Amino acid sequence: MNVYRHILIAVDFSPAAERLLRRGLDIATRYEARLSLLHVVEYLPFALDNELIMPAPLEIETQLFNSARARLAKLAELTGAPATAEQLVELGSTKVEILRIAEARGVDLIVIGSHGRHGWARVLGSTANAVMHGASCDVLAVRTSA
Amino acid sequence: MNVYRHILIAVDFSPAAERLLRRGLDIATRYEARLSLLHVVEYLPFALDNELIMPAPLEIETQLFNSARARLAKLAELTGAPATAEQLVELGSTKVEILRIAEARGVDLIVIGSHGRHGWARVLGSTANAVMHGASCDVLAVRTSA
């Protein structure tokens, strides 16, 4: 029996996303694994007292969702993801949503980008790091920058 | 061309080592990758002024090395590692040695155990975490405890 049966690829829309997705697809093919693609729209609550005129949050959320769904679908098509791959867009904290979906779906491998070793990521700790600590399954951190 | 051509598996001798090694062997087989197995003997310098009579450090080091080499060879045999797999024992900091060997050998995937989310590992950060931050290649963190 294959070790990895359900692989979750966490996709942002950075320049490295295509490479990450291709790498995840490659491993999913080799393991004949079920595949889920997830993009998380980070939620930024509004300050109600600011003076900028902005659309209602609900409307913005809908726009963000629709835009993210379209970009994810386009990326999946570009990289030749199988039609059976589930495409998910969630709203919230990237780390929390990745772990929540992984648990809920019984995922056994999370593929995530690891953004280099420089700058703030090194100080604050990356999402990949947080996911690795929280996950109850294996995590493949794909190097996405030097 | 295969994405992973040289895989480095970092092996400790914990109860989970066999599972970790089997997982690494599995992925190496699927990618037809060259394989290196590495165990690092953590170096503990001696306080020269302590009153305990101890064997000379060099002798201890030799014993540690020989013991580690034998255990690694046994583990490789037990898990059916190919005879072509390089077996390395190094002395020093686990994190530093893993990164050093990975760079020196042009490794493109490091497989390492990730020891759960509880206790001191969570506070101090695990070796897997440190390796992920320092590596210039991909890192597969295999969950070795709940």
Angstroms from B84 CA to nearest CA on chain A: 22
Asked if B136 and A146 come within 8 Å (Cβ–Cβ), the reply is yes
Average pLDDT for chain A? 86
Asked if A132 and B141 come within 8 Å (Cβ–Cβ), the reply is yes
Q: Where are the domains of chain A?
A: 6-143
Angstroms from A141 CA to nearest CA on chain B: 5
Q: What percent of chain B has pLDDT over 90?
A: 62
What average pLDDT does this structure show over A96-124? 81
Q: Tell me the residues of chain A between 10 and 69 that have a Cβ less than 8 Å away from chain B.
A: 23, 26, 30-31
How many residue pairs bridge chain A and chain B with CB atoms within 8 Å of each other? 59
Asked if A30 and B26 come within 8 Å (Cβ–Cβ), the reply is no
Please give the pLDDT value at position B15. Answer: 87
A99 vs B44, residue with greater confidence: A99
Question: What are the tens digits of pLDDT across the range A82-93?
Answer: 999 999 999 988
CATH 3.90.1150.10 fits A6-143, yes or no: no
Please give the pLDDT value at position B105. Answer: 96
B133 vs A29, residue with greater confidence: A29
Question: Is B49 a residue whose pLDDT tops 80?
Answer: no
Structure tokens at A65: 């969702």
What is the chain A residue with the closest CA to B134?
A: A117
Which of helix, strand or coil describes residue B64? helix
Q: Are A94 and A42 in contact (CB under 8 A)?
A: yes
Angstroms from B18 CA to nearest CA on chain A: 14
**Phi, psi (5° rounding) for residue B99?**
-65, -40
Question: What are the tens digits of pLDDT across the range B87-127?
Answer: 999 998 899 999 999 999 999 999 999 875 555 555 555 78
ipTM (interface pTM): 0.86
Asked if B138 and A136 come within 8 Å (Cβ–Cβ), the reply is no
Interface test with A, best of B27, B112, B118 (most A CBs within 10 A): B27
pTM: 0.88
